[in-house]
Amino acid sequence: MAPWKIVYRDNEFFKVPNRNSVSRKGSIQGLEWIWTVTREHEDYVSMFWNFQWPTLRASGVTGFEGTVSTREYIERKFESSIVMKEILLKKNDGCSFDLILRPILNVLDDARIESIFSSSKFTDVVLLVQGKKMNVNKGFLSFHSPFFHALFSSNFKENSMNEIPIVDVGYKEFAELLSSIYPNAIPPTSENVVNLMKLADRFQMEAVTNICESIVLHHPRINFVKKLAIADKYNLESLMEFCIKMFETAPDPLKMLRDPEIKNMTPGLKSKLFDKFLEITRE
């Protein structure tokens, strides 16, 4: 199973000799690396990470996105095994690095969906989505969703049906929704997280909402206004608190208030932002 997020902090600083290279091996949660630091000049060094993830590749991980931090923040997305950078580092200065990475998983194609939702001794009902069959377990879905708990209850005619149609949703996107909580879960990406948030709200799947909220909160390519709109629409407290802190510490909060998307948000949020702006300008 691919890790949801890899976080690593190298607390052991080591010194780079005058004209030599120093290498260190490491691994965490299936990600392996050799980190090489080479003295290129008396004032700077080059750093070279050779990443490998053979076990995770077998689970569908094609690469990683996130940050590699040394003395400054840099954003990385890599699908090859090589990451390089240079930093200023005097002779005998120490260096170390941190990783915060999310796996990039291969997309769900029809063959993989059929494999995940094929009939087995653990499945006891078939969902029909766009005419295609998805074998699932009633108890598992009922545990994760009041919607499905009600659908499978004795008060609904669907409880006695061997095949239950699920309408107004695409086959692939519905598979992405369920796959995000299934064993060997396929977590949402920045490309489908907004749509999955909408589906999670419709099908009352709080676990998926929480997963999506975490991705939106931490993802560097989802901007402030987009984060704020999602927090407002789905009433996500942690994401909302994060956005308010971003607003309070922004170099130009007035520019953020003037974004055209702000006018589409709820009156309560707009009032809260305006009050925060007045509070900031009085300081």
pLDDT digits (tens, 9 = 90+) for 158-212: 566 778 999 999 999 999 999 989 887 777 877 788 999 999 999 999 999 999 9
In this predicted structure, the answer to whether residue 38 has a pLDDT above a threshold of 90 is no
Mean pLDDT for 100-104 is: 79
State residue 190's pLDDT score. 74
Among 86-95, 173-182, 260-269, the minimum mean pLDDT is found in 86-95
**Banded pLDDT at 250 (limits 50, 70, 90):** confident
**Banded pLDDT at 8 (limits 50, 70, 90):** confident
Query: CA–CA separation, 113 vs 111, rounded Å?
Result: 5
Q: Which long-range contacts (CB under 8 A, 24 or more apart) does 118-127 make?
A: 125/152, 125/162, 125/163, 125/164, 126/162, 126/163, 126/164, 127/163, 127/164, 127/165, 127/166, 127/174
Q: Which amino acid is at 110?
A: D
In this predicted structure, the answer to whether residue 112 has a pLDDT above a threshold of 90 is no
Query: Which tops the pLDDT comparison, 231 or 108?
Result: 231
Query: CA–CA separation, 111 vs 107, rounded Å?
Result: 11
Q: Percentage of residues in the chain with pLDDT exceeding 70?
A: 81
| Angle between helix 237-249 and 206-218 (nearest 10) | 20
**Banded pLDDT at 74 (limits 50, 70, 90):** very low
pLDDT digits (tens, 9 = 90+) for 40-63: 776 677 778 888 887 776 556 777
State residue 158's pLDDT score. 59
Dihedral through CA 176, CA 180, CA 185, CA 189, nearest 10? 80
242: its two tokens: 């994060």
Query: Which tops the pLDDT comparison, 25 or 109?
Result: 25
State residue 119's pLDDT score. 93
| Angle between helix 237-249 and 224-234 (nearest 10) | 150
Place of tokens 């915060």: 100
CATH topology for the 110-205 domain = Potassium Channel Kv1.1; Chain A (3.30.710)
Supply the mean pLDDT for the chain: 82
Query: Which tops the pLDDT comparison, 6 or 191?
Result: 6
State residue 132's pLDDT score. 94
Mean pLDDT for 105-127 is: 85
Q: Is 204 helix (H, G, I), strand (E, B) or coil?
A: coil
State residue 157's pLDDT score. 64
Query: CA–CA separation, 69 vs 187, rounded Å?
Result: 24
From residue 83, give the alpha-carbon distance in Å to each of 44, 52, 80, 170, 273: 17, 11, 8, 38, 40
In this predicted structure, the answer to whether residue 17 has a pLDDT above a threshold of 60 is yes
State residue 30's pLDDT score. 85
In this predicted structure, the answer to whether residue 230 has a pLDDT above a threshold of 60 is yes
